[in-house]
Structure 1
Amino acid sequence: MADPVISFVIERTGDLLIEKIVFLKGVRRQVERLKNDLVRMRCFLKDADQRQDEEERIRNWVSEIRAAAYDAEDIIEIFASKVEFFTKDEGLVTKLTYYPLKIVKLCKIGKEIESLQMRLNDIAASREKFGIKNLGEGTTTHGEELQWIRRSSPFSEEKDVVGLGEITKSLVAELLKEDRNRRVVSIIGMGGAGKTTLAKKVYNHADVRERFNCRAWVCVSSSYDYRKMLRAIIKQLNPITNELLDMLEKMEEEDLERRLYQDLQDKCYLVVLDDVWEEASWDCLARRAFPDVGTASRVLLTSRNRDVAQHADAYRHPYELKTLGQEDSWQLFLKKALGHGANAGCPSDLEEVGREIARRCAGQPLAITVIGGLLLGKNKSKTEWENVLNNFGAYLSRSQSEAGKISEAGAILELSYADLPANLKFCFLYLGLFPEDSVISVRKLIGLWVAEGIMQKRDAKNLEETAAYEDVERLCSRNMVQVAEMTVDKRIKSCRVHDLLRELAIRKAEDENFFQINDTRDDEISAKSRYLAVHSLPQDKNYFGSSTPPLRSLLFFNIRENISLIFKSFRKLRILDFENVRMYSNLPKEIGEVRLLRYLNLRGTYIPRLPLSVGCLRNLQTLDIRSFDWEVKVSNFIWKLESLRHLYADEMECDVPLKIEGLRNLQTLSGIRFGDVMHNNMITLTSLQKLGIVVTERSETDKLCMHLSEVGSLKALHLCFYWGGRWPQSLGGLSKLHHVTELKLVGLDLRMLPPDFPPNLSRLSLKDTCLEDDPMPVLEKLGELSFLKMNFAFEGPQHMVISRHGFHQLKFLELNSLFDLEEIKVEKGALPQLQCLRIRRCRRLAKLPEELKHISTLDTLELVGMPKDFISGLDADLVSSVPNLRIF
């Protein structure tokens, strides 16, 4: 971990010299000397990084360099930000007044840099004592940068499953046995053995879907939240409405148990409890929430602990998922390491070394998957594979003194971590901050990584965001991270980290003092923490004690109660994430003193107002103030946030027209009112790509479109109508928006489609629009349209007709909650490019159109929340013609 952190900090120190040179003239020579000292220290890090696992004092030596590098960056940034704040955009009098203070601060920073250089001299002097050699300027510890060969994700892992055929049949047969009593069927095995993969195969088996009229899946994990589990199951059994969500949020445990019991009591249900660690977690649900009333219901349980399975049902032996046999291990290895399909062979010169690598994986699917992903990115040469095998042997010999096969698998995972390039190591460790079993938004992850400054800066616009997304893909391709959800256009929307790999990230991070996780109320917060994730608030309300840690990132997860921080104590913060911390009070004005802040997440905090002092955060890149159905009052300071890239809001209210022009870095802006847009010269927002506007019935959209027509960077426009009454009568002018390719219309009582659309529109989403006429005759003529999503979109027509050759470019179609729709007619030749059809909760729809079976491009059919009669009446020929049928 030495290289990623220190290399990035040294590079950033150099960038700061260039960016802040005007403010550092008095100490430039000292700063350059400090940077050169750090660069020289980096020459010894390759040897140290390879040996720090062997000796604690070497780890401490590396840790001292890292702390010095961080302190160097902090000193320069804090000083430059203070000088910049007082001198930028101010008159001569202010600059002259501040000049004496600048001299004092230059003297102070000079002394701090001298102190740092003395620390580095002491660190350098101790190097020889530890026998650390200069191995050159190289900054990677194992091998070359991963060749980005495979873009496919491990999300569709079913195609690579081996050795589960017989046990799947047995499990399905067990679930379908004629027994009216509720029974528990358990799968046990070591971590990474494939328990969840097997459970998914059974859960989605056609015979199982047909038998059980009610299904739900919940991941329990070692740190489960009982109320959260109950809510998760209830949500899967009922249509999701705001009323239901609000009600569940307010319910106590007993109320949630009673509600779940009522939902299940007359159903033949199947509930999967994945990754149950403790008997107590089973007892909570089984005794009070899962009825046993003669409906032949089943619970499928996965656990690492045999005692948990036997406690759940003492009359049945659990299905034990053992490690793979030699041949199954080899077949899985080939699929992962070479990307081949079933029965594909291995190059003869690689087979011997490949079989030895597979053998050393001890039959553990996760270990094979991870090391296969590592090899997939390497040259297919015997030398390359032997190099992996030799390194693997060193890790294996160290782990054999520990605890058998689990530690052997841990050694494999450590090898895969060691092989990551420097920036991917940093990114992987950062994922360890998130709670166990988290589904992590990739958009959020990108914002965090960019704010950390770990993405390489290049010339092209938005490349930092692009590089961050590519790093997510690389971690997925190496099977270090799992894809949780994909977008229609095959981009990763969310991801998760397998708990074995998360444990690895946490262990590595703790070894390197990289971050701290506060996940029990008894945890003490270290005075040395740079990155802190709070999963549980300490009992002591004085969270940080008498000494404040030099935090760069502070993230709160699953914390609902209000918290108070003394912001003056956290001036080194770059990231502050309060998501879902229910504040319901104004943010303290002292937030403006955290001048280095780049990422501020207040989503779901329900704060009434942003203080004027937020305008002092000149480095802020991401500001998120979304809270469902909640207006946030914003003082007129947004225009001062010159580094701002993303501003997310549901609706912002300002006493005067909100000034935003001149924000050249702004890429995303949502929740701004129509009037505020019209008061700004939008052409000055030269990077703006996504714009979400709140309109009223008085908004003149034709003038709005003319106003936006010259914003050449604008790609996505969302118009949201939250108020009562009707949409603007003149919803016109959209044809002027030649650059816009994505349009979303949200709000009640649109009643009829706009008279025109952007000519290059490829994505259209209609939500809560209550159209009175069938929109298909109009929409099917949009020549570039490839994505159409309709959610509560119309209420009038009972029939929908897609005519011959309609939608000739459409690839994805979603029809969601169209409650009056009874029939869909698709004429011959329509939808010739359709790849995915998703139908959700269209409860009066009798059947699917027969013409679908003749659409050769149709790959995926998803049916969510559809009536039982609809599912049972599916045409057999249609079902067999679609490669991927998913019924939820």
Structure 2
Amino acid sequence: MADAAVGSLVRKLGDLLVQEAINLHGVSDQVEWLKRELETMQCFLKDAEAKKNNGDDERVKNWVTKMRDIAFEAEDIIDTFMYYTLRRQQGQPGCIGFIKRLRELSRVEKYMAFLILVQLINTKSGEIPILPQLRDDIDMVGFDDEKKKIVLELVNEEKTNRSVISIVGMGGLGKTTLAKNIYNDHEEKRSFDIFAWVIISQEYTIHEVLKRISSKISATPSADTIQDLSDIETCCPTSLLDYAHQLVQRCGGLPLALVVLGGLVSTKPQTQDAWHKIVDSMKGQFVEGGKRCLKILALSYNDLPYYLKSCFLYFGCFKEDEKIPAKTLVRLWLAEGFLPKKNGTTTEEEIGFDCLEELAQRCLIQVTKRKYDDSAKRCQIHDLLRDMCISEAKESRFLKLYKNDAEDCMTTANAARRLIIFNEIETLNYSNSKLRGLFYDKSDNLPPFRALKGQLGKFKLLKVLFLLAISDISEFPSEIKSLIHLRYLEFHSVNLKEVPSWIGHLRNLQTFILSYGGRLEKISDSLWTIGNLRHVCLPTSTGPPPNMRNNVPKNLQILEWVNAGSWIGNALPKLTNLRKLKICNVSNDHANALSSSLQKLGRLASLSIEIGDEIPLDNIITAFSNQHCPKKLFLKGSLNHKQLPLNDVFPQQLVKLFLMFSKLEQDPMATLGKLPCLKYLKLYDAYEGKQMICSAAGFPQLLSLTILVFDQLEEWHIEDKTMPRLKSLWIINCKRLKMIPEGLKNVSLHRLVVSLMPEEFKTRMKENTGEDWYKIQHVPNISFP
């Protein structure tokens, strides 16, 4: 009876998609009704999705799949209606072939199917445990002997030939953890002049591997970290030891599985009843070998909230081992409508970063690099988890990896919602006109664009268009202008010349990114009439300034790499939601207008300015003196006063500061050392004096300091109790600096990098024999790239 009800339901809803040209008037009420029905479907799907993995009942899984297809069809109907509505509003020709008998579907029949589904799901036994919030900082446990053997091989001076040491084993065994632990051992690194950490995916070329090694030999990647694992007996009550040993046994010694499972029990009450339920729920679920790890990892995925599952599956849109920009993920999630709504002043972008952190805490992804404010900058997914992600995405028709021109494509009714192309293709043989996302990225060899040219227009419901490494095109494909639903457009082209006037037709566009461009000759004014714009990044500083006039996109939060112009005084003050701003070629003519406008941008947290000639820096810095949001400041260019303004006019909340080509004649450290929140300081050709002093008790929060191209600097003094938290120091190309500062011996450095310095300077730092060795002998990681 249940199968018959679903079959009837699917067929009737399919009948509603029969195309018939009708007047738009009279169907809007029906579309609103369908929206309400879709919300009901999605509620059931969320519940069903959370419970379908409780058992192996294929009937439940089939029900969930059929309900998902129904919801997809409802979405398609609504989006198609909106597509034609927007086209008419824009005065474009065309009529809608739409729903003739929308209300003919019996509500009783629909809810009968839903009730049967819910009843089937709710009668399943078993319980999926809630997974924890996991830390990502781990010490290696259980590999001490293996590490010693490998280290002995590495430092054996009797072996003069080059050699390769292989660490083999099934996925999740801890091979990468062991290798990285050895690589990041500071004592072992001192035995080598050159070292590099390079990740090689399953698909690679020798040329690409050599290029990666070459790019890495001048830097030492920071250590990846995993969940800290303790000895069971020291962290577990005696009454729970038996359960703990049973859980560990089920992991089969696989570190990745132990991490997930250890985090799971950490969120449960330390009672026999709670732990017994976990042990009982895991009985019979796991198999031998590498699949055991995937089964355990699947627990974490199955426990995700509905919206986080979609966010996680998006990692399948990126290449293996790719370090993915966190901001890109968040913007894509926002464009797709995955992020939950929250009351209050929290922005959707902030919600997106919270979602990313939760995925990291659950050990489904890893944050590989953080920004100055400790938010995620780049992230990565383990290859086993990526395999699980793609498998789940394929089952739920979330995405499809398109591999070749001749492959058998699914029909529109059961095709994936997102298409991912990583290889070069001649033609795109894909018939699903209901596609929501299209990703095209074969950046290694700059593939031709001809496979997609002329075909984009048929994907009229696209929300995301992500086109990287487009080498053979100098203008936007005109088909894009018909993609009215488009919210995210990223286009990388080396030859693009113009942003066309039809860009204004994309009324729903939120993110617009051009990258790797040459000289952009024209940016149409219509871009700035798109009220939904949130993020705009233009390719270079060589293009024309934006002409925003009076119709500014007031929702704009990110504006990067735009040229200075009259818009600074006219339009910039109206962009009151700006969080990040990068302006190029600022001249004296713009200085006063820029200073005045910045005072009105109360939410601006990050500002980058490239100065075309000498300008009065005081005016720009003092514009921030009474604001609380500025955290990052980058100033490139010489300053006409040749000195920094006094400390009290600097934004006191600054966390990161980068001064480049400042040509200061007075020591900047006197002012900068008093900034209470400063953590990251980089000075590039910023000071022309011979002596520099870091005064006592200065730089209380500084973590990283880079001194680069100080041509005249001869003496550097670091007084007592200066930079108490400094972890990383880079001294680069300061040719006249005589020696390492004496005060460095009192700074608890973790890393010291000395590059492009005279041989005499480096000789003084030589281990055990150098005159300055006593100043740095406590530093565990010293390199001379």
TM-score range, shorter chain: 0.7 to 0.9
2:330 and 2:340 map into 1 onto residues whose CA distance is 13
Q: How does 1:571-650 map to 2 (within 5 A)?
A: 571-603=460-492, 605-627=494-516, 630-631=519-520, 633-649=522-538, 650=540
**TM-score scaled by structure 1?**
0.74
In the alignment, which residue of structure 2 is the partner of 1:429?
A: 313
Q: How does 1:380-395 map to 2 (within 5 A)?
A: 380-395=270-285
Verify the 8 A CA contact 1:700 1:731 in the aligned structure 2: no
In the alignment, which residue of structure 2 is the partner of 1:27?
A: 28
Superposed displacement of residue 763, structure 1: 3.5
Say if 2:114 is the partner of 1:133.
no
- Counterpart of 2:153 (choices 174, 179, 191) is 174
In the alignment, which residue of structure 2 is the partner of 1:447?
A: 331
Q: How does 1:54-93 map to 2 (within 5 A)?
A: 54=56, 58-84=60-86, 86-87=88-89
1:635-688 CA-to-partner distances (Å, cap 9, x unmatched) read 001232111111112347448833375423211112222214335343432311
Number of aligned positions between the proteins: 734
In the alignment, which residue of structure 1 is the partner of 2:692?
A: 800
- CA gap 1:361/1:600 in 2 versus in 1, 3 angstroms: same
Say if 2:365 is the partner of 1:481.
yes
1:713-757 CA-to-partner distances (Å, cap 9, x unmatched) read 222221124x6xx33367634312332624534545558345565
1:429 and 1:820 map into 2 onto residues whose CA distance is 54
Identical aligned pairs, as a percentage?
Answer: 25
- CA gap 1:609/1:494 in 2 versus in 1, 3 angstroms: same
- CA gap 1:584/1:822 in 2 versus in 1, 3 angstroms: farther
2:669 and 2:545 map into 1 onto residues whose CA distance is 44
1:768 and 1:472 map into 2 onto residues whose CA distance is 33
Superposed displacement of residue 554, structure 1: 1.2
Superposed displacement of residue 172, structure 1: 1.2
In the alignment, which residue of structure 1 is the partner of 2:728?
A: 837
Superposed displacement of residue 582, structure 1: 2.8
For residue 854 of structure 1, what is the amino acid of its counterpart? N
- CA gap 1:386/1:846 in 2 versus in 1, 3 angstroms: farther
1:146-181 CA-to-partner distances (Å, cap 9, x unmatched) read 665x5x4x2x43xx2111222212211111112222
For residue 631 of structure 1, what is the amino acid of its counterpart? L
For residue 174 of structure 1, what is the amino acid of its counterpart? E
Q: How does 1:808-823 map to 2 (within 5 A)?
A: 808-816=700-708, 818=710, 823=715
Verify the 8 A CA contact 2:373 2:655 in the aligned structure 1: no
1:471-491 CA-to-partner distances (Å, cap 9, x unmatched) read 211121121112211234433
Verify the 8 A CA contact 1:43 1:136 in the aligned structure 2: no
Verify the 8 A CA contact 2:257 2:296 in the aligned structure 1: yes
For residue 583 of structure 2, what is the amino acid of its counterpart? I
In the alignment, which residue of structure 2 is the partner of 1:765?
A: 657
Superposed displacement of residue 507, structure 1: 1.4
1:180 and 1:349 map into 2 onto residues whose CA distance is 55
Q: How does 1:221-370 map to 2 (within 5 A)?
A: 221-237=201-217, 335-336=228-229, 344-370=234-260
- CA gap 1:745/1:341 in 2 versus in 1, 3 angstroms: farther
SS of aligned partner of 1:432: helix
1:37-78 CA-to-partner distances (Å, cap 9, x unmatched) read 762685487467645773656544423322321232233234
SS of aligned partner of 2:243: helix
In the alignment, which residue of structure 2 is the partner of 1:250?
A: none
More moved, 630-639 vs 704-713 = 630-639
- CA gap 1:814/1:615 in 2 versus in 1, 3 angstroms: same
Verify the 8 A CA contact 1:456 1:467 in the aligned structure 2: yes
- CA gap 1:40/1:182 in 2 versus in 1, 3 angstroms: closer
1:203 and 1:798 map into 2 onto residues whose CA distance is 39
SS of aligned partner of 2:199: strand
Verify the 8 A CA contact 1:484 1:495 in the aligned structure 2: yes
In the alignment, which residue of structure 1 is the partner of 2:12?
A: none
Say if 2:181 is the partner of 1:201.
yes
Q: How does 1:851-866 map to 2 (within 5 A)?
A: 851-855=743-747, 858=748, 860-863=750-753, 865=755
1:508 and 1:120 map into 2 onto residues whose CA distance is 32
- CA gap 1:195/1:693 in 2 versus in 1, 3 angstroms: same
1:488 and 1:173 map into 2 onto residues whose CA distance is 38
1:183 and 1:480 map into 2 onto residues whose CA distance is 34
Say if 2:162 is the partner of 1:161.
no
For residue 64 of structure 2, what is the amino acid of its counterpart? V
Superposed displacement of residue 199, structure 1: 1.4
SS of aligned partner of 1:637: helix
1:429 and 1:378 map into 2 onto residues whose CA distance is 27
- CA gap 1:774/1:85 in 2 versus in 1, 3 angstroms: farther
- Counterpart of 2:169 (choices 170, 178, 189) is 189
- Counterpart of 2:584 (choices 686, 694, 712) is 694
1:405-446 CA-to-partner distances (Å, cap 9, x unmatched) read 212222212222222222222222221221111111111111
Superposed displacement of residue 579, structure 1: 2.8
Superposed displacement of residue 454, structure 1: 0.9
In the alignment, which residue of structure 1 is the partner of 2:40?
A: 39
In the alignment, which residue of structure 2 is the partner of 1:11?
A: none
- Counterpart of 2:377 (choices 493, 503, 511) is 493
- CA gap 1:380/1:120 in 2 versus in 1, 3 angstroms: farther
2:114 and 2:49 map into 1 onto residues whose CA distance is 13
Superposed displacement of residue 355, structure 1: 1.3
Verify the 8 A CA contact 1:486 1:494 in the aligned structure 2: yes
More moved, 753-762 vs 526-535 = 753-762
In the alignment, which residue of structure 2 is the partner of 1:14?
A: none
Which of the two has greater helix per residue? 1
- CA gap 1:85/1:735 in 2 versus in 1, 3 angstroms: farther
2:440 and 2:766 map into 1 onto residues whose CA distance is 43
1:568 and 1:119 map into 2 onto residues whose CA distance is 36
Say if 2:429 is the partner of 1:544.
yes
2:174 and 2:217 map into 1 onto residues whose CA distance is 27
Verify the 8 A CA contact 1:648 1:669 in the aligned structure 2: yes
2:34 and 2:560 map into 1 onto residues whose CA distance is 45
In the alignment, which residue of structure 2 is the partner of 1:533?
A: 420
For residue 428 of structure 2, what is the amino acid of its counterpart? Y
In the alignment, which residue of structure 2 is the partner of 1:828?
A: 720
SS of aligned partner of 1:789: strand
Superposed displacement of residue 588, structure 1: 1.7
1:443 and 1:655 map into 2 onto residues whose CA distance is 25
In the alignment, which residue of structure 1 is the partner of 2:394?
A: 510
Say if 2:615 is the partner of 1:728.
yes
For residue 475 of structure 1, what is the amino acid of its counterpart? L
1:109 and 1:472 map into 2 onto residues whose CA distance is 39
- CA gap 1:44/1:82 in 2 versus in 1, 3 angstroms: closer
1:316-340 CA-to-partner distances (Å, cap 9, x unmatched) read xxxxxxxxxxxxxxxx99x44xxx6
For residue 627 of structure 1, what is the amino acid of its counterpart? Y
Superposed displacement of residue 705, structure 1: 0.5
**TM-score scaled by structure 2?**
0.83
- CA gap 1:468/1:745 in 2 versus in 1, 3 angstroms: closer
Superposed displacement of residue 619, structure 1: 1.1
Superposed displacement of residue 602, structure 1: 1.6
In the alignment, which residue of structure 2 is the partner of 1:327?
A: none
2:214 and 2:243 map into 1 onto residues whose CA distance is 50
